[in-house]
Chains A and B, each alone.
Chain A
Amino acid sequence: MTALLIAIPLLTAFLFVPFKEKAKFILPIIVLINIVLLFNLSINSVEAMGGWKAPFGIVLVLDSASFYTLLVVNIIFLIISLIPQITENGFSILLLILLASTNGLILTGDIFNSFVFLEITAAAAYIIASLKKNYYGAYKYLIVGSIAGGFYLLGAIYSYVGTGSLNFADISLNLNSSFLPFVSLMLFIGLAVETKILPLAGWVPDVYASGSPLTPAILGTGVTFTMMYLLGRIFITIFNGYFLDVLYIFGLLTLILAEIAAFRQEKLLKALAFSSIAQAGLVLSTISLNTYDAIKAGYFHLLNDATAKIILFVIAATVVGNFMKNKTAGISFSIASFSLIGFPIFAGFRSKLLILQSSFEKGDYLLPTVLLFSTIIEAAYLLKWNVRLWHNENEETKQIPWNIVLITLILALLIIFIGIFPDLYLKVSENITDGLMNYKAYVTTVLGGM
């Protein structure tokens, strides 16, 4: 039954090709069906596609980590589908494909299958990136993304040679240790583009700052969350913590460099794009500390970041001019940016505090230092933008649709709610961490008590 999560959106996408314009209305229904279906599935089930058992065939694994990631990603898609104004004609079908491919990427237990879904996600992302006539940025993204895809494929092939199969659990159990450095480096290069790790994140500002609210709202939240999950699955579950030290360094470098770059931007959308890179670096280095608390804090922060980023990107790309004319949207924007900085009573404060705690527990002082330093820079530029947008001399204003105002307001209230009672997000991130760290349970569920 797990396969329906992928089959239903895909079938709908295929059926709606001749009438692309109608896909807009079907998208929220399909996402809702997916979420309802998800709650009717039993956790810790393995489904073999075509009936070929692991490690011979492709399996879909639904454990607590993939269940909660699916939930988060599907809810993000639901939110996006409720703001149909930001989706241009014909692009709803791409969102259906993107939904199917992210679901597949989260569920799959096979490395080559994950490559295929990665490429579908990437192809859909290139097309979405070309919105608002941003063809040059999309082209750059395509070149970088395809090279990364090639490296991911090479990593998959090396692990096939070293293991004799393509199954994640089998690779984790049987991979010849001399293959480890090659495989993990190539897979890291492959994933670094989509998870936005420097030096392979050069495409992000061009693509996110195209002026279309859809591109950053979906690529920066749903897709990034999926990729971060996949990265955790590969490096924490499969390689059991190997290679995480390198990831830690790259994450820190990304965090500090991207924050400095964001500070120097002249355009709001570009600044937000760089901030998005920086947060990805922070999450990466936090989860690469590889303790239970740290991984929990990392995914918690990723959730907070995704919530804040939807608000920020959607409002920044739709509102023209002064916030005084659009007070509600302005307040949501300010709440989201305060959460991103990490002021007390906002959600971002909780997660940054947890990150600090967990890294002190690990005895690591480098990450807290960098984090505090970057928070100062972040506060500087986000406050600057807030002031600029509230006291804008620009008189031309445009009425923004009520559903955007409503949804961003609900999300902003959610941020404050999480800031006071963080249990909801903490439960999600705890479950993701449980699933990712429980390497033995994963292998036995997939391979069946070997």
Chain B
Amino acid sequence: MRRVFALLISLGLILFFVNSLSILPEYGNVELSKVSNAYINKSVNGNNEKVKFGESKDLEDGAANVVTSIVVDYRSFDTLGEVTVLFTSALGVGLILHGFKRKTYGRLPNFILRVSVGILLPLILLFGVYVFVHGHLTPGGGFPGGTIIAAGILLLYLSNEEFDLSKTSKFVESYAGSLYIVVGLVGLAIGGVFLINFLPTGVVGDLFSAGIVPIVYILIGFKVGAELSGVIADLYREG
């Protein structure tokens, strides 16, 4: 009986969504919205020239990756909130699992694991750093970069019983997050608006371009890396 009822509800829901297809644009045939157009042409504050890679200079936003320009510049306030969600859940995992001890097996982990972690770890960390440093130019950014770093930390946890990073990760998390807000407050002090891009934006496509975007993404990278490592450390315990 319960299953029939559930089936009816889910079917009704699917029907409701299918109904909405008549008002949605056809797949692959979407028109760019006015907001997205402005983001792509970087013309929110009225720039009418087309953006060209490697040539356009001193635009309102200098990130070559348009998604990054939205995430870290046009809608940076959302990203601050997003970082806070992750921060809250990392904190919550710590609070909820408070009092659990680290899981130990009392023997050395596998030889292959230990040696390969030694080889892989620098590469993984380097790749993570690359991803978040180049967040404004290539796909990626602080969130994927931080996640890759956290994956490296997970390997460390697996290969070394004594390894513990929870204190350090708390400090990194705390200071990276605070610095993000401080960057915003500096913008408030200089430009009169919270989170304003107060540095020169340079040429589209250069590594040193886009003003505060790379700085913020590096901070996010550290913060996400530290938070996810913290979550891993907290979940890798037993009562």
Contact = CB atoms under 8 A, between A and B. Distances in A.
Chains A and B bind each other? yes
Interface of A: 1, 3-4, 7, 10-11, 13-18, 47-53, 55-58, 90-91, 93-94, 97, 100-101, 104, 112-113, 116-117, 119-120, 123-124, 126-127, 130, 135, 158, 160-166, 176, 178-179, 182, 185
Interface of B: 16, 20, 23-25, 33-35, 38-39, 44-45, 73-78, 80-82, 84-85, 87-89, 91-92, 95-96, 98, 167, 170-171, 173-174, 177-178, 181-182, 184-185, 187-188, 191, 193-197
A164 B91 contact: no
Given A50-B74, A52-B74, A116-B85, 18 more contacts: A3-B194, A4-B188, A14-B173, A15-B174, A15-B178, A17-B170, A17-B173, A50-B193, A50-B195, A51-B196, A57-B74, A57-B75, A58-B78, A94-B91, A97-B84, A113-B78, A130-B96, A165-B34
B87 A176 contact: no
A18 B91 CA distance: 11
Given A11-B178, A161-B25, A123 B76 contact: no
A58 B75 contact: yes
Nearest to B185: A7
A93 to B, nearest CB: 7
B39 to A, nearest CB: 7
Nearest to B31: A164
B92 A165 contact: no
A124 to B, nearest CB: 6
Instruction: Say what secondary structure dominates the interface of chain A.
Output: helix
B188 A3 contact: yes
Nearest to A123: B88
Contact of B194 (A15, A50, A165): A50
Q: Which 4 A-B pairs have the closest CB atoms?
A: A3-B194, A164-B33, A116-B81, A14-B177
A52 to B, nearest CB: 5
Chain B at the A interface: SS class: helix
A185 to B, nearest CB: 8
A49 B76 contact: yes
Given A10-B181, A49-B194, A50-B193, A113 B174 contact: no
B23 A162 contact: yes
Contact of A17 (B20, B73, B174): B174
Contacts of A97: 84, 87-88, 91
A94 B85 CA distance: 11
Contacts of A52: 44-45, 74
Nearest to A3: B194
Contacts of B73: 50
A21 to B, nearest CB: 12
Given A10-B84, A48-B193, A50-B194, A164 B23 contact: no
Contacts of A16: 174
A14 B87 contact: yes
B82 A7 contact: no
A338 B82 CA distance: 43
B35 A55 contact: yes
Given A7-B181, A93-B91, A164-B33, A135 B78 contact: no
28 contacts: A3-B77, A3-B184, A3-B195, A15-B178, A17-B91, A17-B174, A49-B194, A50-B76, A50-B194, A50-B197, A53-B45, A58-B77, A93-B91, A94-B88, A94-B92, A97-B84, A101-B81, A101-B84, A116-B82, A119-B81, A127-B91, A127-B92, A130-B96, A161-B24, A161-B25, A163-B33, A164-B35, A165-B33
Contacts of B174: 14-18
B23 A53 contact: no
A93 B173 CA distance: 14
A424 B170 CA distance: 45
Contacts of A161: 24-25
A166 B75 CA distance: 11
A201 B235 CA distance: 30
Given A14-B178, A49-B76, A50-B193, A56 B35 contact: yes
A124 B193 CA distance: 28
B39 A11 contact: no
Contacts of A185: 16
A113 B81 contact: yes
A166 B35 contact: yes
Given A50-B77, A120-B88, A176 B34 contact: no
A100 B96 contact: no
Contact of A120 (B81, B170, B196): B81
